[in-house]
Amino acid sequence: MSERIVVVGAALVDDGRLLAARRSAPVELAGRWELPGGKVEPGETADAALVRELREELGVDAEADGRVPGEWPLKSPYVLQVWTARLRPGSAAPEPLEDHDELRWLRPGEIWDVNWLDQDVPAVRQTLAHLGAAEGLT
């Protein structure tokens, strides 16, 4: 049986809004929205991978503050896990530096306005169930 590789997605929340990122590549994913993130590298923890990916992809200084329960299958061998994250004080505002061509801070009621990747839909739904009320997202 082959190993599975975890892809971490960030539920980056700020001021009651959730960040969504529109992919610019590869072509089959371009135009679809996702929780930004990427693959956990060998020897790396999931939360460290999340902080690294957010720095690389969005230029932000973020911290992971807890995992959303659950795991969603991607194309084998990848599985998607979601961590909640927030910007550290003094962080730059997120910018689409690589992989993305647009960002949106979604307010409650706007969460389903973007065309999420199919596999992110259950992950976003679970994220809202997990932190919606506490973060003012629902």
Q: Which is nearer to ligand CDP, 56 or 89 (CB)?
A: 56
To ligand CDP, the closest distance from the beta carbon of 104 in angstroms equals 14
Name the residue whose CB lies closest to ligand CDP. 38
CA 122 vs. chain centroid, Å, equals 13
Secondary structure of residue 56 in the 3-state scheme: helix
Minimum distance from CB of 41 to ligand CDP (Å)? 8
Nearer to ligand CDP, 48 or 117 (CB): 117
Task: Quote the least distance from Cβ 89 to ligand CDP, whole Å.
Answer: 26
Phi, psi of 81 (to 5 degrees): -120, 150
Give the separation between CA 56 and CA 113, rounded to whole angstroms. 26
Closest CB to ligand CDP among residues 90, 124: 124
Query: Would you tell me which residues interact with ligand CDP (CB under 6 A)?
Result: 7, 9, 29, 34-35, 37-39, 74, 78, 80, 99, 117, 119-120
Q: Least distance from C-beta 133 to ligand CDP, angstroms? A: 23
Q: Which helix (H) or strand (E) holds 33?
A: strand 33-34
Instruction: Pick the closest to residue 106 from 128, 126, 133 (CA basis).
Output: 128
Residue (of 8, 20, 5, 37) closest to 128 by Cα position: 20
The answer to whether the beta carbons of residues 90 and 109 sit under 8 Å apart is no
Taking the least distance from each CB to ligand CDP, the nearer of 99 and 135 is 99
